[in-house]
Structure 1
Amino acid sequence: MSEVLNSYPQLLRGAWLTIQITLYAAAFALVLAMVFGLLGTARSRLLRAVNRVYVEFFRGIAALVLLYWFFYALPLLGLRFTPLAAAVLAIGLNYGAYGAEVVRGSVNAVPRAQWEAACAINFTPLQRLRRVLLPQAFALMLPPFGNLFIELMKATAGVSLVGIADLTFRAKQIQASTGQTAATFVVILVMYFVIAQALQVLVRLAERRSDRVLGRRLPTRPAPIAATTGEVVSP
């Protein structure tokens, strides 16, 4: 175990690269999710069809297969990507498809009365979307987005297979040099858990901020009522 712990600079560099790939891929996936998710709520059948094609295609393909396709197959057709670009594209396209369904479902979950009220005060379609529908839908998106964010981070472990020196890649190097398989993978298990918890904290902070912006309040416990008199008893 001591030999593994002494290799912490390598593990920290790998963890930092894992975090970078997670953030880049998550940003790319978020853009795709918003664009294709909103297309899924459009009135036009053509736009909704574009949403379905993207979602069904990329949701039905494993991120690892996409990674191999971008890194190994497309260069044979003349399209070359760096390992980092291939990783971001593959993971982002895959999880963006899941995120698009979250966006579509959240926007559709906003009560229709909100949309009708925005129409009644002569908001343009863009104003209705930006000032009424999206703020409320965003609050609904955050919990499932938090789950996808963590799943995306865990999916980055596969990028080591194309030579990216992430946390898993560094762990394999340490395991090969020290021969301590169990100790090495226990350490990175803990490191992945810590990263996941940090991401979860960020999502929870975003949820609280969203609740404050929308003016939500936690439900308060009603005051007890006296059994005999029916009067409200002060807590």
Structure 2
Amino acid sequence: MTENLDTLGRALPQILDGLLITIELTVGGALLAFLIAVGLGLLARFDNRWLRGFARVVIEFFRGTSLVVQLFFLFFVLPLPPLNIELPPVLVGIVGLGLNYGAYGAEVVRGSINSVPRGQWEATTALSMSRTQRMWRVIFPQAWALMIPSLNNLLIQLLKGTAVVYLITIVDLTAELNRLRVDTDVFFAYSLGLVVYFILASILAAAMNGLEARAKHRLGRGKPKRVLAAPAAETKGAGA
């Protein structure tokens, strides 16, 4: 065990570098996935059948093909003629993750918007709101509170999905753990990996839970903790 810890100490700078790459992939992929999810989710609800059809084709294509194959295509095929598009490995990872999980997120966005009560839609019509005002001032804020739990799950899945990007020569956390395994043992290296990924997932989950609580509070469906604590203090004072 002591030898493993000594080896870990020597490998720590490289592991931290790999961790930073994993965080970059997660943040970059999540931002791109969110933009794609909102864009495709809204397009999938358009009355225009061509726009709606385009959104459905893109969503089903990226949901129905393997993330690993998508990464290989972006990394190995795009640089070939006639495309000749060569992207840095980290950017390939971000684009691949964003496209794949953005397609799943688009269904979350579409389903959440459809879940907003019909009365809210009718109210916006009665107020003579434009299509844009209706969506961004009334419908989307309510749908946002509904979609956060599902987006939270996708975000954690995306974090775990970064573990496959080492296949396209990116030295991320998983790649560094594989190197550590050679110098220590399988149990030590991958147990460390489980702990690190669990900590990262817990941080993301806590942040998303905070966003959900804030979104519900803005809609009048919840109260911040400091407000909830007030009645307890008043009750204690009354009892005294």
Structure-1 residue corresponding to 2:213: 208
Q: CA deviation at 1:10?
A: 2.1
Shift of 1:181: 2.0
Q: Aligned residue for 2:5?
A: 2
Aligned twin of 1:223: none
- State TM-score, norm by structure 2: 0.87
Which consecutive residues of structure 1, in runs of 5 or more, have no partner in the other structure? 221-235
Distance (Å, rounded) in 2 between the aligned partners of 1:185 and 1:195 = 15
Equivalent pairs, count: 219
Q: Distance in 1 between matches of 2:100 and 2:127?
A: 39
Contact 1:87 1:159 in 2 (8 A): yes
1:99-114 to 2 correspondences below 5 Å = 99-114=105-120
- The answer to whether the aligner puts 1:79 opposite 2:85 as a matched pair is yes
Q: Aligned runs of 1:172-183 on 2, under 5 Å?
A: 172-176=178-182, 178-183=183-188
The reply to whether residue 170 of structure 1 matches residue 144 of structure 2 is: no
- Report how far residue 18 of structure 1 moved: 0.4
Q: Structure 2 stretches of 5 or more lacking a match?
A: 229-240
| TM-score normalised according to structure 1 size | 0.89
Distance in 1 (CA, whole Å) between partners of 2:152 and 2:184 is 36
**Equivalence map 1:1-235=2 (5 Å):** 1-6=4-9, 7-77=11-81, 78-176=84-182, 178-217=183-222
> Which shifted more, 153-162 or 209-218?
209-218
SS of 2:78's equivalent in the other structure is: helix
Whole-angstrom CA distance in 2 between matches of 1:208 and 1:37:
23
CA positional deviation for 1:4: 4.3
Give me the CA root mean square deviation: 1.6
Does structure 2 conserve the Cα–Cα contact (< 8 Å) formed by 1:15 and 1:166? yes
Instruction: Give 1:45's aligned amino acid.
Output: R
Q: Secondary structure at the match of 1:22?
A: helix
Q: Contact conserved, 1:84 with 1:164, CA < 8 A, in 2?
A: yes
Identify the structure with the greater helix proportion.
Answer: 2
What percentage of residue pairs aligned between the two structures are identical? Answer: 41
1:5 positional shift: 3.0
How far apart in 2 are the matches of 1:82 and 1:16? Answer: 16
Q: State the match for 1:229 in structure 2.
A: none
